[in-house]
Structure 1
């Protein structure tokens, strides 16, 4: 695929302020107004395309010591929510696309996800482990409403009684309560809802097509009332921008029924650091230099430090204070519940048509 042009300025309903070519492209491109095409459509109006992606496997594995899972499923590549800080943005460069506006407008889905999952879970040597859904991009972004890829994956996990966790910042997850609630009764599911701010203006700027803070809190409440254990994720925590809301987000989440909480400090790997700076200068010019100064103080003087054990929380006095505040707020609002592990013993591949029936019921 050829790289898309650079769009300067705020595209309507988008997070990134530019669309620079991916880091693997031999040439970079930039759009400019030469005065010859005044009647062309407004370049700031960026339409979304959703294309099928042929996948060979659906369960991916990692050996990172910084995340709480080794097996994951990502039904989508790219994310229309457009969160400016999203750590998945750089992966779009592997597609020959920009981690900027392309990431949130040129999307891919895996139509065979459910069939691939059923095949992988049915292998004789398969050993169950908790699968995390949405570790890369949100499994409940807008196109899931019609494509239903995430739902089809959960349906397979339900039939196999396979445990899983899932994270989202979308209220669309409530559509699948009919699957999640029965699995929660069997200790087969745990849900994380990401809430980064209670400020509607900041949330709209930072996560332009994600659900409002109120909708996310409503999702926490309804999931909790249905018996689904919910963890709230305050991620990313951005010093000088949203970190002052940490206690407020945890308090409101606890009131809505959340039982646990986690946080991740802002991460700015690869192209994200430039995209984030552009967004700050555009939407928060009064705080841009202050925020980046605080970020560098948490990252050893750099915009980002990818070292294991440091990349999720940072280091130094500011990072330490953030960690202490979070731990205190968890205790204060009762979000330090210790969860038991999800049940791996119930896993059973369902019988297939033509399988021999056990006459003795054994």
Structure 2
């Protein structure tokens, strides 16, 4: 089943869950098995409990070691999303199931509060989110991200937010207050400037134009903003890198970073199917260039290389990016250092 069959979805494919021995299908009257979804399903939300709010990683590729993920699965439908594979742990598929079955961590705020209050807890900047977007459409209904930001403000705890969604504008009041205490960095993920490509590549995200407007608006309110050009996909969006950084710099972005695409696990098959549907004429070229970045394979788990790639193509991308940042991002406009000196944890909040 082709991804183009379902409007507003990154893919209509439903690959088998590698952790399950059986697969749910509908039995056709003529004895033909058909996929679970014949039509675009409505999104379902599943409330779950979490054992801990903070997720720890020791990756040298990431600037922050702790993250908070209020949701698993993501309606944004970005075809390249590395988080798709992890949705199989919950019994869903990495394709359409990832986009239409959203796990909502109903107790994430109370869990995080308990962790802040633990004796001996040391504050460290946390990332919202490290896995799926904390401002995906589900946030409009459940407001967990807003509550987490309110908690960080109450405890004076530093937080970094990254999103592809304009819903973050709803919380500008809290972000302004956090920024006044040097407790927040905001990053917008922008990897293209073409609204048409957005509809295919990451269908339910905000347009680049809207995100650039928010950078301008937030910067005017002294909320420090940066961008992530992520991921860069050779032959798809790689020609836009300089233009994206130029536009972000003009809007007020203080910092820029990037990653190149990698296609681990089932993402490779999903992405190849997406190329076959939307860009069949360049499918082979795009896949070969991705493989050039990752030692001859589309997947990659090697530290460093998995994020920036290696080889001549990687060097070309790095050179273009560095030149654009030098030209368009104000070198004096760095993100402010977090101020963790006023943290109110270790049981202090219990006094109120």
Given the two structures, how large is their TM-score scaled by the length of structure 2? 0.93
| Corresponding residue number in structure 2 for 1:360 | none
> Which of 110, 129, 132 is the matching residue for 1:134?
129
Task: Give the Cα–Cα distance (whole angstroms) in 1 for the partners of residues 12 and 306 of structure 2.
Answer: 25
| Corresponding residue number in structure 2 for 1:109 | 104
Question: 3-state SS of the aligned residue for 2:45?
Answer: strand
Deviation at 1:35, TM superposition (A): 6.2
> Which of 209, 214, 222 is the matching residue for 1:219?
214
| Corresponding residue number in structure 2 for 1:209 | 204
Question: 3-state SS of the aligned residue for 1:66?
Answer: coil
| Corresponding residue number in structure 2 for 1:329 | 324
Q: Which moved more, 1:207-216 or 1:78-87?
A: 207-216
Deviation at 1:334, TM superposition (A): 2.0
Deviation at 1:34, TM superposition (A): 6.3
Deviation at 1:351, TM superposition (A): 4.7
Q: Deviations over 1:303-342 (max 9, x none)?
A: 1221012100111000110001000000010255443431
| Corresponding residue number in structure 1 for 2:253 | 258
Task: Give the Cα–Cα distance (whole angstroms) in 2 for the partners of residues 64 and 57 of structure 1.
Answer: 19
Q: In structure 2, do the counterparts of structure 1 residues 251 and 218 end up closer, same or farther at CA, with 3 Å as the change threshold?
A: same
Q: Does 1:80 align with 2:80?
A: no
Question: 3-state SS of the aligned residue for 1:311?
Answer: helix
Q: How does 1:62-73 map to 2 (within 5 A)?
A: 62-73=57-68
Q: How does 1:279-294 map to 2 (within 5 A)?
A: 279-294=274-289
Q: Does 1:54 align with 2:46?
A: no
Determine if contact 1:12/1:46 at 8 Å carries over to the other structure: no
Task: Give the Cα–Cα distance (whole angstroms) in 2 for the partners of residues 270 and 170 of structure 1.
Answer: 26
| Corresponding residue number in structure 2 for 1:344 | 340
| Corresponding residue number in structure 1 for 2:315 | 320
| Corresponding residue number in structure 2 for 1:177 | 172
Question: Across the two proteins, how many residue pairs are aligned to each other?
Answer: 348
Determine if contact 1:20/1:29 at 8 Å carries over to the other structure: no
Task: Give the Cα–Cα distance (whole angstroms) in 2 for the partners of residues 257 and 34 of structure 1.
Answer: 60
> Which of 74, 84, 89 is the matching residue for 2:84?
89
Determine if contact 2:3/2:10 at 8 Å carries over to the other structure: no
| Corresponding residue number in structure 2 for 1:237 | 232
Determine if contact 1:17/1:278 at 8 Å carries over to the other structure: no
Q: Deviations over 1:114-138 (max 9, x none)?
A: 1111111011111111111111000
Over the aligned positions, Cα root-mean-square deviation in angstroms equals 2.2
> Which of 140, 146, 154 is the matching residue for 1:145?
140
Question: 3-state SS of the aligned residue for 2:103?
Answer: strand
Task: Give the Cα–Cα distance (whole angstroms) in 2 for the partners of residues 218 and 180 of structure 1.
Answer: 16
Determine if contact 1:298/1:319 at 8 Å carries over to the other structure: yes
Q: Does 1:228 align with 2:223?
A: yes
Task: Give the Cα–Cα distance (whole angstroms) in 1 for the partners of residues 304 and 115 of structure 2.
Answer: 32
| Corresponding residue number in structure 1 for 2:160 | 165
Task: Give the Cα–Cα distance (whole angstroms) in 1 for the partners of residues 31 and 17 of structure 2.
Answer: 28
Deviation at 1:213, TM superposition (A): 1.7
Determine if contact 1:75/1:109 at 8 Å carries over to the other structure: yes
Q: Which moved more, 1:274-283 or 1:19-28?
A: 19-28
Q: In structure 2, do the counterparts of structure 1 residues 71 and 152 end up closer, same or farther at CA, with 3 Å as the change threshold?
A: same
Determine if contact 2:129/2:162 at 8 Å carries over to the other structure: yes
Task: Give the Cα–Cα distance (whole angstroms) in 1 for the partners of residues 23 and 155 of structure 2.
Answer: 48
Question: 3-state SS of the aligned residue for 1:166?
Answer: strand
Task: Give the Cα–Cα distance (whole angstroms) in 2 for the partners of residues 284 and 44 of structure 1.
Answer: 23
| Structure richer in helix, relative to its length | 2
Task: Give the Cα–Cα distance (whole angstroms) in 2 for the partners of residues 214 and 13 of structure 1.
Answer: 19
